[in-house]
Structure 1
Amino acid sequence: MPFTLHPLTSLTAAGCTAVITTAAGTWPLSLAVALAAVLLALRAGAGRRVLVTAAAVLLPLVLSLLMLHGLFFPEGRTVLAAWGPARVTVEGMAFAWEAGTRTGACVLVLLLFSFTVSAPDLVAALAARGLPPQFGFVLASSLTLLPAVAGRLERIRAAQEARGLVLRGGALSRLAAVRLQMVPLVLGLIEDSGSRAQALEARGFGGPGPRTDYREVADPPAQRRLRAALLLLTAAAVALRLGASWPAAGSA
């Protein structure tokens, strides 16, 4: 029988990995986490979907980091190039690189979870823990919406180009077109979430009363111990990060 992770174990692993990566704040660890997430996605058969969705999410963010910190980093001292008030500094590029790799690692880990977890098993596991069924269905619906992000962005781009908007220029034109793509994307996702919420409410998921679960998800004791260990490790990483920042804040 192949080894399978309990949905709550996958959720805990993804969340703890993102928190530890953020707390560590070092780009070698971020790159290692991102590479591991990509390899696991390829092994699970979700590599293409994870990479396409990650590119759609991270491209605007990376461009904004380069624009803000790469050109206008106030603490930059080593100037590589300058155009008026804009200065490309080593410190600014290093900050943008570190922030970009850290955010990319977190996005890839969370996308890996969303593309590989079984939504019905996740809902059943959350309901077995006493959480309201509405919470589980909303979370599962959000996970099912993620795979459609890349396809929806492609349809939005094609529709805008059909109306005469050029989106395939240089970096500046792409950055200016981000807002034109993000607004209909977010509005469409909100509309989809509202439609699903109405459908769930019409089927009585919001009503009171006893419920019968027809789906059981096995939760081995070893995985429960693993989740506890991950939570303790994450708490320790956050505590170390906060402890390291207090002396610097006190001396300032």
Structure 2
Amino acid sequence: MNPLLPGGAGATSDGTFGGVVSYGNRVRDMHPLNVAVVLACISLLALVTPRPVGLVAGCVAFLGLAVAAGVGVPFARLYAKLLLGVGLVLFVLRAAFADGNQVLFEWGPLAPTREGVRDGTDFALTVMVLCGALTLYFALVPMKTLMLALELRGMPPQATYILLASFQAISDLSRSARVVMDAQRSRGIETEGNLWVRAKAFLPVLAPVFITALNQTEERAVALDARAFNSGIPHTHLLQLRPTPTWERAATTLVAAGCLATIGVRLLWT
């Protein structure tokens, strides 16, 4: 039995407690590697298509796929935060400091130019396309499902476990920090206020959080040893990926072929 993945009796629609991973949605039920191919092709097409039209089309395509997969609202919210927190900042920095001849206006040491605005728009949209592909991928494919797919394709179980445990450690540390902060708050310790107050409340949290993380690491090591993880015997899995249907293989092949053909045409014309 593979300790990578949770399991138990009785399969659910998303495979949380064992069985075949299925969400009842054709997009979300695609094989994790096929999803990666489709999103990579959309990103490449957006990057090689004349800008900024291709980049905008790529962002819109990600939103369309998210809606088709049933995760449109959460993905749109997260994508909007990335646009405001990353894309807008990159646009302002490039537009304000990039060299150009046509100055739009002057404000102190800043003199944005038309060329700088164009360069900032292209750069910010490029980053948003790449961020959109990664964000949408992990919104569609849980990490445990991706690791299962990679292990079934030949990746060593030790490598998939390390990757999954690394990503899981981030959420575990965050969860432990919230629990300790709530305990501190229940004891009357002030945890809200200005930056100095928050820092004083947060620093004492670090020790118990990291001690908890070390204890969890030891418990996982004992669990792996008890399940003969390194025995070399082929692993069984509580979760199973559904068989890839013909239409999915055909669609992925067409998308990949169209992407390669478009890139080839662009290279010939440049």
Q: TM-score, normalised on structure 2?
A: 0.60
Structure number with larger C-alpha Rg: 2
2:105/2:112 contact within 8 Å kept? yes
Spell out, residue by residue over 1:135-160, the C-alpha distance to the aligned partner (whole angstroms, 9 max, x if none). Answer: 44455567779999xx9xxxxxxxxx
Instruction: Quote the offset at 1:67 in angstroms.
Output: 3.3
Q: Check 1:139–1:30 CA distance in 2 against 1; reply closer, same or farther (3 A cut).
A: farther
Partner amino acid, structure 2, of 1:89: T
Counterpart of 1:87? 111
State the alpha-carbon separation in 2 of the partners of residues 199 and 24 from structure 1: 51
Instruction: Quote the offset at 1:24 in angstroms.
Output: 3.0
The answer on 1:6 being equivalent to 2:23 is no
Instruction: Quote the offset at 1:10 in angstroms.
Output: 1.0
Counterpart of 1:213? 236
- 1:232-247 pair list within 5 angstroms: 232-238=257-263
Counterpart of 2:180? none
State the alpha-carbon separation in 2 of the partners of residues 115 and 227 from structure 1: 19
Find the residue that maps to 1:87 and give its secondary structure: coil
State the alpha-carbon separation in 1 of the partners of residues 261 and 87 from structure 2: 30
Spell out, residue by residue over 1:148-196, the C-alpha distance to the aligned partner (whole angstroms, 9 max, x if none). Answer: 9xx9xxxxxxxxx934249xxxxxxxxxxxxx9xxxxxx9xxx8xx878
Instruction: Quote the offset at 1:92 in angstroms.
Output: 1.0
2:91/2:123 contact within 8 Å kept? no
Point out the structure with the larger helix share: 1
State the alpha-carbon separation in 2 of the partners of residues 40 and 142 from structure 1: 28
Counterpart of 1:19? 44
Counterpart of 1:73? 98
State the alpha-carbon separation in 2 of the partners of residues 25 and 2 from structure 1: 33
Instruction: Quote the offset at 1:41 in angstroms.
Output: 2.0
State the alpha-carbon separation in 2 of the partners of residues 143 and 164 from structure 1: 31
Spell out, residue by residue over 1:211-249, the C-alpha distance to the aligned partner (whole angstroms, 9 max, x if none). Answer: 22333321235434544444444445555556666xxxx
Aligned residues: 210
Identical aligned pairs, as a percentage? 23
- 1:126-205 pair list within 5 angstroms: 126-137=150-161, 162-165=192-195, 201-204=221-224
Find the residue that maps to 2:111 and give its secondary structure: strand
1:138/1:197 contact within 8 Å kept? no
Find the residue that maps to 2:105 and give its secondary structure: strand
Partner amino acid, structure 2, of 1:162: E
Counterpart of 2:86? 61
Cα RMSD between the aligned structures? 4.0
Q: Check 1:8–1:147 CA distance in 2 against 1; reply closer, same or farther (3 A cut).
A: farther
The answer on 1:38 being equivalent to 2:63 is yes
State the alpha-carbon separation in 2 of the partners of residues 39 and 13 from structure 1: 13
State the alpha-carbon separation in 1 of the partners of residues 30 and 135 from structure 2: 16
Find the residue that maps to 2:101 and give its secondary structure: coil
State the alpha-carbon separation in 2 of the partners of residues 84 and 123 from structure 1: 52
State the alpha-carbon separation in 1 of the partners of residues 166 and 47 from structure 2: 23
Unaligned stretches of 5+ in structure 2?
Answer: 1-23, 176-190, 200-205
